[in-house]
Amino acid sequence: MSLRVRFAPSPTGNLHVGGARTALFNWLVARQSGGQFILRIDDTDRERSSQEFLESILAAMKWLGLDWDEGPYFQSQRAELYRRDAERLLAEDKAYLCYCLPEELARQREAALKAGRPAVYDGRCRDLTRQDRERLEAGGRQPVVRLKVSRAGETVVRDLIRGGVVFNNEVLDDFIIVKSNGMPAYNFACVVDDALMGITHVIRAEEHLSNTPRQLALYRALGYAEPYFAHVPMILAPDRSKLSKRHGATSVEEYRDQGYLPQALTNYLALLGWSPGTEEEIIPQEELVKRFSLERVSLNPSIYDLGKLTWMNGHYLVTVDLEEITSRALPFFQRQGLVSQNPSPKEVDYLRQVVGLVRDRVKTLVEVVDAATYFFTDDWDYEEKGAGKYFTSEAAELLAQAGERLAGVEPFTAEAAEAAYRQLAEELGVKTPVLFHPTRLALTGRTMGPGLFGIMAVLGREKCLERLSRAAVWIRNAAE
């Protein structure tokens, strides 16, 4: 039988990095084995679920390249299936209707705690007669459905990461499977769906491990085949607290908008909990598909390290195809108004050259834009410190002469411009930096950046001459 896994987000928020990692692990296992990756939307909480979150989750998954083979299925459209199984359990006397009100349950819990008993439901509605039920319903009470659970013995969860995890059944009680409003509880909908969808491996967050004994009780009561489980470790912030907003970006969307690449986030998230067994850190998606294994997922919490993710992003910025980086960078330039909304092929070609020049000096697409603004606008000032240092009256003269030289360079390439500059320095008897530093400042407004002659070639002759003479004028004005 082929492997079937699922990712089952609730559309009550954006896709968190933890959720993205769960989705990734499922996807890797499916792609590796030629199995199926199913997307299910756990949207039974109608109040907290929204279309907007749903769309944001789907967009984030697509951006990460996590394509699914089936779905999305929506729990909100599967009420009939849950109702059928709940009725079956009732008919087989494996479940019963409970009429206790929330405040009664709270009182029962308090009394149990006082008496030193575990605060579990005491099963008082198990043996209601039909007359009892009719009386309670006539009084306006809406029942919930509870599963009959034996609290004797133990339940062993077979977990592919943790081995057998043993739970004493004392922690269980007759838990609710259908709420008083008729909606299935999480554990129930999850088991019915996982079973009917033929899920063979349930790979999910560690926070659900404690639900698994209840889910196993449901598989057994319903007579469904049990899947394998794998509970992936928690993700903690560097201070070992739960990763949250106050530690910075937590959703895939935010990383995308901050200029991270899906390749980097995928690589980073895979190594957050999984290890290849070597010191390697750069493992692209197609390699991960070959090498990933649940057995090598750690039991320990994973510590989120933004510095490492950013470092990886810098790596992928230079190694991914320039064409792709350019198209990913385009919206960032458009947002700053540096490139038009419908760029011509010529504009895109120019952008490609610019991105090619700056990408090995930065870590994110936002930084690509920062490093490249002067290619698109003249609206900037010279760096003050640099101007004080390099824009001397001697420099004004040198820049004027350099401009004259560049005017005659044919064709106007980086190599030819460099040769002309070196020759000019020699003729004038000055060291090359004396010529190069003010030129860089004149062309870019900055003292640092990519290779000077590469910049010239991309800017083009006209722009270079214009900026050289603008700087010469600026220097003369400043001297007056």
Nearest-approach distance from CB 204 to ligand GLU, in angstroms? 3
Which amino acid does the sequence have at 158? R
Instruction: Tell me: does residue 10 bind ligand GLU (CB under 6 A).
Output: yes
Return the residues of window 129-188 that contact ligand GLU according to CB under 6 A. Answer: none
DSSP codes of every residue in 390-456: H--HHHHHHHHHHHHHHHT-SS--HHHHHHHHHHHHHHHT--HHHHHHHHHHHHHSSS--S-HHHHH
Interacting residue with ligand GLU among 4, 5, 9, 435 (CB under 6 A) = 9
Using CB under 6 A as the binding rule, whether residue 21 contacts ligand GLU is answered as: no
Q: Which of 189, 190, 325, 406 binds ligand GLU (CB under 6 A)?
A: 190
Cβ contact 434:467 at 8 Å: no
From the list 4-12, 145-153, 175-183, 406-414, the region that binds ligand GLU by CB under 6 A is 4-12
Complex with ligand GLU: residue 49 or 444, whichever CB lies closer: 49
189 or 354: CB nearest ligand GLU: 189
* Minimum distance from residue 16 beta carbon to ligand GLU (Å): 9
Residues 6+ apart with CB under 8 A from 300: 233
Tokens at residue 99, please? 């009429």
Q: Does the N-terminal peptide bond of residue 72 adopt cis geometry, omega within 30 degrees of 0? A: yes
Pick 50 or 108: Cβ nearer ligand GLU: 50
Least distance in angstroms from the C-beta of 40 to ligand GLU: 8
Q: Choose the binding region for ligand GLU from 6-14, 29-37, 84-92, 303-311 (rule: CB under 6 A).
A: 6-14
Contact positions with ligand GLU (CB under 6 A) in 36-65: 42
Which two three-digit tokens encode residue 173?
């009680």
Distance CA 121, CA 470 (A): 82
Between residues 47 and 379, which has the closer beta carbon with respect to ligand GLU? 47
In whole angstroms, the minimum distance from the beta carbon of 201 to ligand GLU comes to 11
Residues 194-223 that bind ligand GLU (CB under 6 A): 204, 208
Give buried/exposed letters for 416-446 (b at 16+ CB in 10 A, else e). Answer: bbbebbeebbeeeeeeeebbbbbbbbbbbbe
Separation of alpha carbons 437 and 465, rounded Å: 16
To the nearest whole angstrom, how small is the minimum distance from the Cβ of residue 208 to ligand GLU?
5
Q: Which is nearer to ligand GLU, 243 or 351 (CB)?
A: 243
- Shortest approach of ligand GLU to residue 10 CB, angstroms? 4
226 touching ligand GLU, by CB under 6 A: no
Nearest to 269 by CA among 315, 245, 233: 233
**In the bound complex, what is the minimum distance in angstroms from residue 272's beta carbon to ligand GLU?**
18
C-beta closer to ligand GLU: residue 6 or 437: 6
Q: Could you tell me the strand order of the sheet in which 70-74 lies?
A: 70-74, 36-41, 4-7, 201-205, 228-232, 154-159, 163-168
Residues in the chain: 480
208 or 463: whose CB is closer to ligand GLU?
208
158 CB burial (10 A radius; 0-12, 13-18, 19+): middle
Q: Does residue 114 carry a catalytic annotation?
A: no
**Which secondary-structure segment (H or E) carries 6?**
strand 4-7
**Nearest-approach distance from CB 455 to ligand GLU, in angstroms:** 49
- Catalytic residue from among 245, 346, 385, 431: 245
In the chain, % helix, strand, coil (3-state, to 5) comes to: 55, 10, 35
Q: In what order do the strands lie in the sheet with 144-147?
A: 95-98, 144-147, 176-178
Nearest-angstrom CA–CA distance, 260 and 317: 9
Q: Which is nearer to ligand GLU, 197 or 348 (CB)?
A: 197
CB of 12 to ligand GLU, least distance (A): 8
- Part in contact with ligand GLU (CB under 6 A); list of ranges 7-15, 82-90, 156-164, 368-376: 7-15
Other CB atoms within 10 A of residue 450 CB = 19
Q: Number of residues interacting with ligand GLU: please give it, by CB under 6 A.
A: 7
Task: Please check whether residue 396 is in contact with residue 469, taking contact to mean a CB–CB distance below 8 angstroms.
Answer: no
127's tokens: 């043996």
* 8 near ligand GLU, rule: CB under 6 A: yes
Of the candidate spans 8-16, 116-124, 255-263, 327-335, the one that interacts with ligand GLU by CB under 6 A turns out to be 8-16
Residue (126 or 208) nearer to ligand GLU, CB: 208
Phi-psi region of 163 (alpha: psi -120 to 50; beta: other; left: phi over 0): left
Scanning residues 375 to 414, which ones bind ligand GLU (CB under 6 A)? none
Q: What residues line the site for ligand GLU (CB under 6 A)? A: 8-10, 42, 190, 204, 208
Active site (catalytic) residues: 245
